[in-house]
Every structure is written in C-alpha cells, then in structure tokens.
C-alpha cells in the first residue's frame, strides 16, 4: 500500500477536475485521473508525478470496475472519491428529448452511483471520503435546465443517502454546489445574456475560478473535515444566499 493517500478524481482532464488533481498533488496525494476523453486526459497527465490516467467512462459499469481495479493495482488504496465528471444540457421539458435526458442522467447521476458503489469496499478500509459535485442548478429551478438541474438535485440527495448509510464505516460523504465557472462545460451553454445575468445575481459579481472550487473539495476530503458529513457547501459567490432567480 502506498504511503501517499490516493484520490480518484473523475472528469480530471480539464476544468474543476484538473484543478482538483493539481491541488491534491500539491498536498501530497496520489491521483487516479479518470476521463472518457482519452487524448485530453493524456495531455493533462503528461509531466505530472503520482498520477494514473484512466481513460474510462463513469456511466459504464464494466469501466467503473476497471477504474477501481487499476487504482488498487497501482496505488494499493483509495482514500477519496471525487465524483466530478459531468455534462451540461440546456432545455426546458418540452424541448428535451428522452435521449438528451438519458445522456445527462447517465453521466451526472448514474456515474455518481456507480463510482460510489464500486469504491465503497475500498473506502471502508481507509475510512475514506466521497465528495460529489452538484451545482446551484440542483438547488433552484430555472426554465432552462430540466435535465441538468434534476440530475444535480438527485446528486444532493444521493450524498445524504451515502452519509446516512456509510457513517458507521467512518466514510464521510459531502457535496459541493459550484456557481458558474468559466470551463468548457459552462461556456458551451452560457450566452452573453446569461453571463450578464449571473454577474447581477451573484453578490461577488463574478464567475468562480476552478481552483476556488477545488479548495472546497480538498477541504471536504481532508482530515480537517473529519466531523463533516452529509453536507452541501455552495461555492457560488453568494448566489444561493440571495433570492435572485437563476438565469
């Protein structure tokens, strides 16, 4: 078993997942970097020490089993699971095909279920931690995000289930709800009007940065949060604390 604590970070090829990987490495952890975009993952992992790039899809059970098996084979332990891989989709219920609905649910919800379930036997051995990445879209409805918002609301509940069920094994489960961050995922769907509306609705008047979300994730994974479980932390510039509507 490696002396270094080991984290699995899904969606690690870019954005919030890559920032979390860099922070974990700086804190001395080893990281299994999971992403279904094999080329971007390899670029992200090049030159990093104590990483294992795993080009797998979190929504496919056989690939999730491979993530756990290869992480254990390489590092010998799993201390933290960060369920960060996600896809965005904009559309109200009348315009959202079932195929689009399923695509969102497969990654954003099924992926969290599958990775968590597969990691539990290993997290029991380390009394480890799960951090699930939800969104402010899972806290407040909008006219634009039926699939994405519903998937993220389910992730918030799934986190509470995990905390309730796994506490007896010393496993903690918490959730982060980021506000808008200028990643590829967000900028593919955020129009200039939406960007302006967010600036107005967020008390800090700006988008967040990837590492501002990563620091919250790393805290929840760390021993500093040893008595924190079942919680949701919004890292959103104060958005959720106001009553202003979601763009």
**Which residues carry out catalysis?**
148
11 binding ligand NAD? (CB under 6 A): yes
Q: Which of 5, 36, 122, 172 touches ligand NAD by CB under 6 A?
A: 36
Q: Which of residues 168-227 bind ligand NAD (CB under 6 A)?
A: 178, 180-181, 183-186
Contact 77, 6 (CB under 8 A): yes
Edge-to-edge strands, sheet with 30-34: 51-54, 30-34, 6-10, 80-83, 129-133, 172-178, 232-235
Distance CA 9, CA 86 (A): 12
Convert residues 75-104 into a mask of x (bound to ligand NAD by CB under 6 A) and - (unbound).
---------xxxx-----------------
Contact 120, 165 (CB under 8 A): no
Q: Which of 8, 9, 15, 131 touches ligand NAD by CB under 6 A?
A: 15
Distance CA 213, CA 168 (A): 28
Which residues fall within 8 angstroms of residue 199, CB to CB, at 6 or more apart? 205, 206, 207
Q: Using the minimum distance from each CB to ligand NAD, give the nearer residue, 171 or 186.
A: 186
138 binding ligand NAD? (CB under 6 A): no
Q: Segment near ligand NAD (CB under 6 A), from 53-61, 71-79, 90-98, 223-231?
A: 53-61
Q: Using the minimum distance from each CB to ligand NAD, give the nearer residue, 13 or 166.
A: 13
Contact 78, 119 (CB under 8 A): yes
Beta strands in the chain (DSSP E): 6-10, 30-34, 51-54, 80-83, 129-133, 172-178, 232-235
Q: Which of 20, 21, 107, 159 touches ligand NAD by CB under 6 A?
A: 107
133 binding ligand NAD? (CB under 6 A): yes
Binding site for ligand NAD (CB under 6 A): 10-11, 13-17, 34-37, 40, 57-59, 84-87, 107, 111, 133, 135, 178, 180-181, 183-186
């Amino acid at each position: 078993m490696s002396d270094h604590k080991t984290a699995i970070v899904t969606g690690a090829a870019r954005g919030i997942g890559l920032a979390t990987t860099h922070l974990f490495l700086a804190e001395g952890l080893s990281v299994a970097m999971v992403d279904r975009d094999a080329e971007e993952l390899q670029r992200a992992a090049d030159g990093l020490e104590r990483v294992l790039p795993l080009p797998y899809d979190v929504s496919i059970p056989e690939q999730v089993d491979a993530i756990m098996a290869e992480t254990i084979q390489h590092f010998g332990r799993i201390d933290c699971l960060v369920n960060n891989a996600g896809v965005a989709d904009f559309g109200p219920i009348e315009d959202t095909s079932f195929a689009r609905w399923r695509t969102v649910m497969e990654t954003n919800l099924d992926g969290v279920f599958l990775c968590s379930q597969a990691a539990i036997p290993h997290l029991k051995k380390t009394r480890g931690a799960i951090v699930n990445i939800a969104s402010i879209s899972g806290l407040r409805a909008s006219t634009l995000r039926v699939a994405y918002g519903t998937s993220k609301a389910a992730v918030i509940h799934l986190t509470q289930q995990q905390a309730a069920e796994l506490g007896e094994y010393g496993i903690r489960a918490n959730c982060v709800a980021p506000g808008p961050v200028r990643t590829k995922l967000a900028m593919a769907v955020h129009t200039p009007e939406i960007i302006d509306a967010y600036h107005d609705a967020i008390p800090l008047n700006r988008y967040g940065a990837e590492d501002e979300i990563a620091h919250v994730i790393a805290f929840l994974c760390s021993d500093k949060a040893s008595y924190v479980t079942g919680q949701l932390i919004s890292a959103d510039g104060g958005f959720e604390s106001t009553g202003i509507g979601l763009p």
